[in-house]
Amino acid sequence: MRLETCIRKGLRLKAHRVREVREEADQLVAEIEWIEGRPLRCGGCGCPTRRIHERRAARQWRDLRIREQTLVLRYAPLRVRCAGCGRRVERVPWAAAWQRITRALGRAIAELARHLSWKQTATHYAVDWKTVVAAVRSAVAQGLRDRKWKPLHDLGIDEVSRSKGQRYLTLVYDLERGRLVWIGEGRDDQTMQQFFQWLSRRHARSIQVVCCDMWRSYISAIREHLPQAQLVFDRFHVVQHLNRAVDEVRRQTWRQLPRPEKQAFKQTRWLWLKNPWNLQAKEQRRLSALCRKNQPIVRAYYLKEAFQRFWDYKYPGWARPYLTQWLRWASHSRLKPFTRFARMIMDHVDGILAWTQLRVSNAALEGMNNKVKVVSHRAYGFRKVDTYITAIWHSCTDLPLQ
Ligand SMILES: [Zn+2]
């Protein structure tokens, strides 16, 4: 088969043909021409039309390499007249509008960008960063369109901070299938409003359980839009708040200690937060020595350990009185961080107790969240939030590639 025919078949040309393939300065150039009389497509709506106006200047598109040689398509598009759109430049079948690479090359770039960083991908295909961004963006858009909708039952809502500072993304997961469903900028009321607008009332109906942090915007949006769903506060987030309380007490204790005792207290942050069964013998000895000395931190430590036992309860009939008792203890502990934590738990007690029966948490998403963090560490060029979101869709999910 001649190279011309091979390229024509590869591009599935119907109204065009490859006139000739030439070697020009280290690259192969395929000259493409219109087969007179064949209908062309309107660049606006894609409708076929036979009314040709004029020829535009020749343009070039990069295509997949052939035997290590760069292949370039060269063609002078025609202006056509469309019944609906008026005068438009034709839609060429090998590339999307305004693109300087062919669809086939775009797909190959997107495929590689799933595994390599975008910068490495750009180097590999000798294209610039923007071309990679455009290729991935169009692959993601297509993937999201082609994705099959599966009814949602258990929803997990989580936030990731993006770059440094207080900027967040909200990620919504299908907990049942461990699948990312939606990504939005921020984590406020507006973000949640956008999510429910996207979800639509029809799709919201099947949701029975939502797992998230005790975050006001999430809670109020869920109550408003999913009145049928049971809210479960994510265990990991609750423990995070608990650990923060312990740490605050540790720091207060530290500040009040006389100088010689400060020395023994140094670098004990993880000692107080670690699960006791994970402590090594040396750490255990150090902990009990410290316990003999410092009253408030000891109270905090036991409070933390006692709270952690709550997660083991399986019957609400037992879990509720246990939690109530713990809350009373914490409220009277004379430890400000703990009275604050206890009040937070009291305000959200239904969603805390829901754990006992539903046993739902966002823990299964940890692997997913790690992937998202890896993407954010490749921070180069992700200063724009929508590029970052595109990167998460592309690298952390299994969106179908064309
Ligand atoms: Zn048209």
Which residue has tokens 């997949």? Answer: 64
For 392, half-sphere exposure in the C-beta direction (CA atoms, 13 angstrom radius) is 26
Q: Which residues share a beta bridge with 163?
A: none
Question: Measured in angstroms, how far is the CA atom of residue 61 from the centroid of ligand 1?
Answer: 23
- pLDDT tens for 64-95 read 998 888 999 999 999 999 999 999 999 999 99
What is the 87 CA–ligand 1 centroid distance (Å)?
A: 8
DSSP3 helix / strand / coil % (the chain, rounded to 5): 50, 20, 30
pLDDT for 231 equals 96
d(CA 262, CA 91): 74
pLDDT at 124: 92
Query: What is the pLDDT at residue 344?
Result: 96
Which tokens is 257 given?
Answer: 């200690």
Instruction: Name every residue whose Cβ is closer than 8 Å to that of residue 197 and which is 6 or more positions away in sequence.
Output: none
Q: Topology of domain 154-234+361-396, per CATH? A: Nucleotidyltransferase; domain 5 (3.30.420)
Q: What is the pLDDT of residue 354?
A: 95
Q: What is the pTM of this model?
A: 0.80
Rounded distance from Cα 387 to ligand 1 centre (Å): 31
For residue 51, the CA-to-ligand 1 centroid distance in Å is: 12
- Give me ligand 1 centre to Cα 39, in Å: 13
What kind and span of H or E run contains 101?
Answer: none
Of 103-107, 267-271, 293-297, least confident by mean pLDDT is 293-297
Placement of tokens 């509008």 in the chain: 97
From the CA of 135, how far away is ligand 1's center (Å)? Answer: 25
CA distance 52 to 47: 13
Contacts of residue 253, defined as CB under 8 A and 6 or more positions apart, other chains included, come to 265, 294, 296, 297
Secondary structure (3-state) at 58: coil
Q: What's the pLDDT tens digit per position in 342-354?
A: 999 999 999 999 9
pLDDT tens readout for residues 142-195: 999 998 889 999 999 998 887 666 688 899 999 998 889 999 999 999 999 999
Spell out the domain ranges in the chain: 1-96, 101-146, 154-234+361-396, 236-358
d(CA 41, ligand 1 centre) in Å: 8
Q: Give pLDDT, residue 378.
A: 63
Q: How far apart are CA 163 and CA 135, in angstroms?
A: 24
Span of 30-44, 225-239, 371-385 with lowest mean pLDDT: 371-385
Q: Which residues is 169 bridged to in the sheet?
A: 160, 185
Q: 373 C-alpha to center of ligand 1: Å?
A: 44
pLDDT > 70: what percent of the chain? 97
